[in-house]
Chains A and B, each alone.
Chain A
């Protein structure tokens, strides 16, 4: 496999604003890469730099082995799908599709044939004579995709292409885009703020924040071993619970602080006594058991049911959310026990947010059989 896109020490400044900070990225040919992060994290800037719509300030950018720093967009041979689709309103679907070919001097009949072939695969054949304003959102989206496909570019760049669609269509188009990628095997860079899109579609996920790549890797690696608290909170839905804890006197255990109750857990590796840490617990990694039978008990605050899953939010500070598949019998005000697989826990430094690694690559934590009761626990716990 050869590298299709290479970024070495790329920086981008807008005046005094440092939009991209020392970005290093290597994308192999045929990979589907997702750039994900909250708005303003620099993911769109990075994509636009790849397209040539923004000029990088320092560093080196290569596409298919060629240095692209100063190459104008039209000579980069990349195709871009815009968030607003950017279909040319004064051209029919067919003219939209063949525009890039006509600029390159492809003969009219040939361009039309190419357009028909692409339209057949994307289901647009019957819409070729329509104008963009006469199409539905999903159809416009397909035109934007087809316009990119028709050129057989070196790379596809997607700028939040699904964010203007309604939820059901978005899920459908997600699969379509991924299927398309599997068919064409073209290198794709996909910008999204939706971590579900990134997780489900991409081979390689790049999480960005404030112009910095926080972590990159395979989707499930990011889910299983987030490098820091930000990535841990960003990947996964509903979001991971973060509970402050303090390392106990011996340095071998930590006390979780839920405000009105506490739970003690032992640590695999010894840490400095009194050190503050953050414990990360994914909602789906907690099981609801009868009070007194789990690692610790917790009062139930809000119960939300989607039919397929039940979201239980504990009335603790900080809140702790638990997801149970199916329909639980838990009601608000109940006291429930929580069983937590220590293998599924994550530990982060409080100051830097960095992951604290235990043995075997995991925060190898174990809850003691019985949590030490907090003095105030008596107010809700039937101990």
Chain B
């Protein structure tokens, strides 16, 4: 088997796998545009013959999507800000000090990452209701997401900080700066890319977060889009085109952002790995 043939075969396999993986996304976009009868046609049509373009405006209006998306944004921005402020300092310390306690701390942080949200939600719910945090349910969700996603952020940003040579900081110290000054003047600007990329990933996670929001936010006017989508579906749902339109509106901005930033995200994630 020649090299070119093998490369082509691998490429074909990759294409097939990508197609399978992305098919639901494609189905979401086409279903949203189909009419009621076209949706349930057998055999199914892969392209809508009579695309219903006004469905987006209808769904936006009828489901009050503006409010849902606003709540999603509030929660996502809140969580990212909290994580960024607390996580950057934490990651820096874990990057610069090496001893047994740091190792233990890092291990515990990674352990936190292992616990799934559906497991944590009950104790968190009980605890938050004791503290009266459920009176401000969006803030409660922000706190819960921050706790859940912080380890991921810390581990990523720690790698970024470790790629900033210690000597640069030492040069700044000898040049007359304090440790804090050196951190803000030298280390932070150089780690900026890694921090931004990690923050974007956290933002995407938080924007689509469902478990905590579903269980902690009872008031409809405070619920994020993920919960709104869920409440759209019932046991006898048949308005799949509306649901898919909702999902399209919800997902497309994130998807677009990811495609645009994809290169930077990948390079940001691997920047710590290579010199």
Query: Interface residues of B: mostly helix, strand, loop or mixed?
Result: helix
A86 contacts chain B at the CB level, 8 A cutoff: yes
A86 to B175, CA, bound (A): 11
B177 touches A103 (CB 8 A): yes
B173 touches A53 (CB 8 A): yes
B174 touches A88 (CB 8 A): no
The one of B167, B174, B190 that contacts A73, using a Cβ cutoff of 8 Å: B174
A52 touches B167 (CB 8 A): no
Contacting residues, chain A, for B170 (C-beta < 8 A): 51, 53, 73, 80, 82, 86
Which A residues between 320 and 375 are near B, CB-CB below 8 angstroms? Answer: none
Bits for B167-206, please: 1 = Cβ < 8 Å to A, else 0.
1101111111110010001100110000000000000000
A72 to B177, CA, bound (A): 10
A104 to B177, CA, bound (A): 9
A89 contacts chain B at the CB level, 8 A cutoff: yes
Contacting residues, chain B, for A72 (C-beta < 8 A): 173, 178
Contacting residues, chain B, for A86 (C-beta < 8 A): 165, 167-168, 170-171
User: Contacts A84-B165, A84-B167, A103-B181 hold; do A74 and B189 have CB atoms under 8 A apart?
Assistant: no
How many contacts between A and B, using CB within 8 angstroms?
Answer: 58
A74 touches B173 (CB 8 A): yes
Contacting residues, chain B, for A99 (C-beta < 8 A): 172, 175, 185
B173 touches A52 (CB 8 A): yes
A147 contacts chain B at the CB level, 8 A cutoff: yes
A100 contacts chain B at the CB level, 8 A cutoff: yes
CB distance from A188 to the nearest CB of B (A): 15
Contacting residues, chain B, for A157 (C-beta < 8 A): 174
The one of B174, B185, B186 that contacts A79, using a Cβ cutoff of 8 Å: B174
Bits for B147-173, please: 1 = Cβ < 8 Å to A, else 0.
000000000000000000101101111
CB distance from B23 to the nearest CB of A (A): 44
A73 to B167, CA, bound (A): 13
Which A residues between 13 and 56 are near B, CB-CB below 8 angstroms? Answer: 51-53
A151 to B186, CA, bound (A): 19
User: Contacts A53-B170, A80-B171, A86-B167 hold; do A74 and B178 have CB atoms under 8 A apart?
Assistant: yes
Bits for A62-89, please: 1 = Cβ < 8 Å to B, else 0.
0000000000111010111011101011
| Most chain A beta carbons < 10 A, residue from B172, B175, B181, B189 | B175
CB distance from A312 to the nearest CB of B (A): 43
CB distance from A167 to the nearest CB of B (A): 24
Residue of A nearest to B192 (CB): A90
Residue of A nearest to B167 (CB): A86
A338 to B186, CA, bound (A): 61
Contacting residues, chain A, for B189 (C-beta < 8 A): 90
| Most chain B beta carbons < 10 A, residue from A73, A76, A80 | A73
Contacting residues, chain A, for B168 (C-beta < 8 A): 86, 88-89
Residue of B nearest to A53 (CB): B170
A104 to B173, CA, bound (A): 12
CB distance from A67 to the nearest CB of B (A): 19
5 pairs from A and B in contact (CB 8 Å cutoff): A76-B174, A78-B174, A88-B172, A103-B176, A151-B176
Residues of A within 8 A of B (CB): 51-53, 72-74, 76, 78-80, 82-84, 86, 88-90, 99-100, 103-104, 147, 151, 157
Ranked nearest first, the 9 interchain pairs of A and B with the lowest CB-CB distance are A86-B171, A100-B175, A86-B167, A73-B173, A74-B176, A80-B174, A103-B176, A90-B189, A73-B174
User: A74-B173, A99-B172, A103-B176 are known contacts; what are 14 more A-B pairs with Cβ within 8 Å?
Assistant: A53-B174, A72-B173, A72-B178, A73-B174, A74-B175, A76-B174, A80-B171, A82-B170, A83-B167, A88-B168, A89-B190, A99-B185, A103-B177, A103-B181
